């Protein structure tokens, strides 16, 4: 990521409409943490 400092120490909330396998949320969270996010949590509307 070019602007890593943008995510440093940020707490991120990922919002998804439908939870199926969770793979997309997991990969997105992993990428955000690797890019410097302090923490990542998710909220899903339907399961």
Q: Residue 9's pLDDT is what?
A: 87
On the question of pLDDT at 1 being above 90, the answer is no
Identify the three-state secondary structure at position 26: helix
On the question of pLDDT at 5 being above 60, the answer is yes
Tens digit of each residue's pLDDT (9 = 90 or more) over 8-35: 889 999 999 998 899 999 999 999 999 9
**Looking at residue 21, what DSSP letter applies?**
S
Q: What number of other Cβ atoms are within 10 A of residue 16's Cβ? A: 15
Residues with Cβ within 8 Å of residue 1, at least 6 apart in sequence: 7, 35, 36
Domain ranges in the chain? 4-46
Q: What number of other Cβ atoms are within 10 A of residue 33's Cβ? A: 14
């Amino acid at each position: 990521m070019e602007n890593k400092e943008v995510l440093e120490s940020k707490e991120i909330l990922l919002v998804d409409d439908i939870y199926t396998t969770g793979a997309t949320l997991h990969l997105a969270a992993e990428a955000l943490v690797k890019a410097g996010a302090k923490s990542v949590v998710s909220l899903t509307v339907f399961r």
